[in-house]
A and B are shown apart, each in its own frame.
Chain A
């Protein structure tokens, strides 16, 4: 029974390794397991392999064709996901009623969490981008593409972006790039928690810049008394939370920063030395 279970754990562990090494490693582990004395030691041997971080290094090493593909995928994600999300979000954030306010609140909260998860997931998918773009330039890459898409978006609808929108979005992008670059430098110096704190500040500052000329900058709870008893702060928090640009902002900043944090320098060849022994 234990032998079969150990064999199963080794098979599970082998599936997480690169395909070219899988059979070889499984053969080696089985041989070692066979030579290992004691049920407990065998169990620990197999369990450790099955539960530990698999061999992933090749995914981070520069490979011909792989990094341009990551860059293209990154571009599509940055340009596509926010652009796809904005029209979808407008349909559930443009009108409130007593029947919808409760689920809209939950949808807003869930959407922010989803933006964080999506940002982390997309960064894992496109890690190789930092082999082409220096980590400190990643904010310029991500926010720059997003800014271009947001400015071009009205043209696709047959109208020009208004002056206030151009100013707000430009200030949003500038502040996000500057603060995310700062966060990247902090992260590269090894201070992970502080770097995420800078990202949180970047999110708040950039979002404030993005709304300098719209109703959030001179918000009144007038009309919201049906929903929140006229309480200004609650109504304001709700209106902020259902802003589509907030969710796009969260996605982009989390994506950018996690991409920087996942950067590993490509391994470079070093000349070997003559053997002395």
Chain B
């Protein structure tokens, strides 16, 4: 079970970045660049998606002393959330393709 989330524009950007490479390991910095969001916007979204069961968060398995840097956290869409995310993005794409611009803006930011 995953929880319902509100699809705001920043959330859609994050989901699109994750869906583009569902098997990849996404760090905060790579997601910031892919979604075009600042850190202060990205991390609350990641926390919400994780709490809602859409994302799984794992820690990099390295020896910080040997690597000379602390372990980073990376995110991936859960198997349960991946089809839902794809479906939502497809629906949104369909709406944005057919609806007039003002209706789309209202839908996405609602």
Contacts and interface: CB of A to CB of B under 8 A. Distances in A.
A272 B1 contact: yes
A269 B1 contact: yes
A272 B80 contact: yes
Contacts of A52: 38-41, 44
Interface residues of A, number: 39
Contacts of A46: 39
A21 interface: yes
Contacts of B99: none
A230 B72 CA distance: 75
Contact of A275 (B1, B4, B29, B82): B82
Given A32-B28, A35-B69, A273 B40 contact: no
B1 A270 contact: yes
Contacts of A267: 3-5, 52
Contacts, number: 102
A142 to B, nearest CB: 27
B82 A48 contact: no
A271 B4 contact: no
A48 B84 contact: no
Contacts of A50: 40
B29 A36 contact: yes
A32 B72 contact: yes
A277 interface: yes
A25 B75 CA distance: 13
Interface stretch (A53-61, A83-91, A159-167): A53-61
Interface residues of B, number: 35
A275 B80 CA distance: 6
A34 B87 contact: no
B53 to A, nearest CB: 8
A27 interface: yes
Contacts of B43: 25, 29, 49, 55
Contacts of A272: 1-2, 53, 80-81, 83-84
Given A52-B38, A272-B81, A275-B79, A57 B51 contact: yes
B22 A277 contact: yes
B69 A34 contact: yes
Interface string B60-83: 000000000111110000011111
Nearest to A274: B83
Q: Which of A48, A54, A55, A272 has the most CB of B within 10 A?
A: A272
Interface string A1-26: 00000000000010001000100010
A31 interface: yes
Contacts of A270: 1-4, 84
B55 to A, nearest CB: 13
A269 B72 contact: no
Leading 3 A-B pairs by shortest Cβ distance: A52-B40, A272-B80, A48-B40
8 contacts: A34-B69, A35-B69, A36-B29, A58-B51, A267-B3, A272-B81, A273-B87, A277-B86
Given A28-B73, A270-B84, 9 more contacts: A31-B69, A34-B69, A49-B43, A51-B40, A53-B44, A269-B1, A270-B3, A273-B87, A276-B86
Interface of B: 1-5, 22, 27-29, 38-41, 43-44, 47-48, 51-53, 69-73, 79-84, 86-87, 106, 110
